[in-house]
Amino acid sequence: MFQAAGLPELTICRMGVVYGPHSRILSELGGRLRRGFCPWPGDGNVKVSFVHVEDAAEALLLAAERAAQEPRAYNVGDGEPATWRQFLDSMAEMLRARRAVYLPLPVARCYAVCASWVDRAITPHVLPLMTTPKVLSSERARVELGFIPRYHSIHAGLKEALSGPEALNGPL
Domain containing residue 135: CATH number = 3.40.50.720
pTM: 0.84
CA 158, CA 119: separation in Å to the nearest integer? Answer: 25
Answer whether residue 90 is part of any domain.
yes
What local confidence, expressed as pLDDT, does residue 100 receive? 95
Q: Is residue 119 domain-resident?
A: yes
Nearest to 32 by CA among 115, 124, 156, 154: 115
Residue 64, sorted as left (phi over 0), alpha (psi -120 to 50) or beta, turns out to be alpha
Report CA torsion sign: 120, 126, 128, 130.
Answer: negative
Residue 1, pLDDT score: 39
Flag whether 20 is in a domain.
yes
Residue 8 in any domain: the answer is: no
Contact predicate 160/151, CB 8 Å: yes
In a domain, 153, yes or no: yes
Q: Which amino acid is at 17?
A: V
pLDDT tens by residue, the chain, 172 residues: 345 555 557 889 999 999 999 899 999 999 999 999 999 999 999 999 999 999 999 999 999 888 777 788 999 999 999 999 999 999 999 999 999 999 998 888 887 777 666 666 667 777 888 889 999 999 999 999 999 999 999 999 999 999 865 554 544 3
What was the pLDDT predicted at 166?
Answer: 55
Computed over every residue of the chain, the mean pLDDT equals 87
DSSP 8-state secondary structure symbol assigned to residue 142? I
Radius of gyration of the chain (CA): 18
Count of structural domains, the chain:
1
Strand partners, 151: none
Of 100, 53, 73, the C-alpha closest to 8 is: 73
Establish if 64 belongs to a structural domain. yes
Residue 3 lies in a domain: no
Report the pLDDT value the prediction gives residue 151, as an integer from 0 to 100. 97
Give me the domain span that covers residue 73.
13-168
Is 35 contained in some domain?
yes
